[in-house]
Amino acid sequence: MPYNYLAPPSPVTPTGQRGFGAYPPPITPTGRSQYMTPQATPALDHQALTPIQQSTLQTPVSQLWVNLPTPAKAPSFQTRAAAQRDAGPLATPASVEPSDIFLHKDIYYSLFYEIGRGSFGRVVYTKVTGKARGVVAIKVLNKIDLTLQRCTGSGNGGLRAEDIKKEFEIMRLASESDSKFLAPLLASFQDTKNIYFVLPLYSSNLEDRLRKLERLCLPMRMEEIILDAAQILLGLEALHERNIYHCDLKPENILIASSGNLVIADFGLAVRQQRSQLCKGPFGTAHYSAREVWSRFQPAYADIWSYGAILLQMMLGTPEPFFGSDPDARPKFVVFRQFITNSAAAALLSSILNSGPKHRPELSQIKDDAFFAGLNWKKVADREYIPIHRPEPAMPSAARNGFEPYVDLSQAQIAQIDYQLQEIDELMIDSQLPVEKIRQCMKE
């Protein structure tokens, strides 16, 4: 589909700042892009915008100028890179103004500061106004960084357009499952610079929880382990029912809501295929991956092994993985069994951490195991059990711009980058859950 068929959201840049937004058009003295055209929007009261936005826009809220037409031709890599070098750093936590403001389907997203960073993008603390109000996290994938990594072999090799599309589709399907134990994709959109995935804002993850317990020299209580393991299991079950296999299950990807409930997140390596179909490895994070992922394997059994590795960490109360990256040098579970005082847990882990994939139990068999005896699975599914641990609110990391200019690119590399940028531009990344569900997710 040609680039000019896309309809990316419009950045409202009242102060002319350029942080995460689209390739910046010329800014008029009033702070508006000269390419913007008036478009009627649903009437909103002034509470929908911050005082800074109200004073700088100098326009009635019902007549906001928010529609930025897509250029007939996508900006080249060199044009975008120059704009990105000129962009200021991310807003610091002390800043009162957002880096960028986007309007997408009657909801305003004000991007403030970075709270995390991964291999292929960063996570930004974002305030929501308009038809829904609250705070969310937006995963920002920078198109230039992704294509440069891929074409120059730097970083983790970047992402192809089909990789981004696959992650988007899997996140969308996971959201449609209505499982309370999968991180939902609230909305998604893109501009010429970035792709944006809107997610609920979670306070912490299981890895942080394990590290904190280690610092305090405290074991994780058995009641907490059982409930956490049950919630992870239900999230994994919801994925497998839709033929989605995570392939990178680890404590870092188990997020903890402010209520203390757990959800599975980060579907960047997930696959959607028939259960019997084989994947070609290697896949996932080495320390949490089953031995067979170094060759051809069935991802359903690999997910079950990773689940067992996480459960083992919770039982022994350490944030460090027990299994090294060399599958031939790994100790067998019998080495750790002597340290597990709960006999039911030891028996369950012994069956899950089996080197033979087809000898591992199915998810339904794990639910019926004696380790979960006395647990009401309907109450778990409805979140009627009150979690023991409730994390503190998410804190921002140091603000960073994150752009490192690449030099000595050949003309062939630039042409390849432009081609891949165009492929990414043409992805139809545009979705949004019902407003009521967005409101509900922000309350958790």
Looking up tokens 């975008």, which residue turns up? 80
**265 alpha carbon, distance to own chain's centre:** 6
One DSSP character per residue, 117-180 reads E-SS-EEEEEEEEESS-EEEEEEEEEHHHHHHHHHHT-TT----HHHHHHHHHHHHHHHHTT-T
Nearest to 141 by CA among 122, 160, 124: 122
Nearest to 181 by CA among 118, 127, 251, 256: 256
As beta bridge partners, residue 129 has: 108
Six-digit token string for 440: 């509900």
Rounded CA separation 291/34 (Å): 58
Exposed/middle/buried for residue 358 (C-beta within 10 Å: 0-12, 13-18, 19+) = exposed
* Residue 318 near residue 264 (C-beta atoms within 8 A): no
- Of 110, 264, 136, 109, residue with least CA distance to 200: 136
Sign of torsion over alpha carbons 433, 439, 441, 442: positive
Cβ–Cβ under 8 Å, residues 438 and 118:
no
Coil, strand or helix: which one is 251?
A: helix
73 is in an annotated binding site: no
d(CA 402, CA 293): 33
Amino acid at 12: V
**Of 372, 378, 402, nearest to 225 (Cα)?**
372
Residue 201 sits at φ, ψ, to 5 deg, of: -90, 115
Annotated binding site for ATP: 139
Annotated binding site: 139
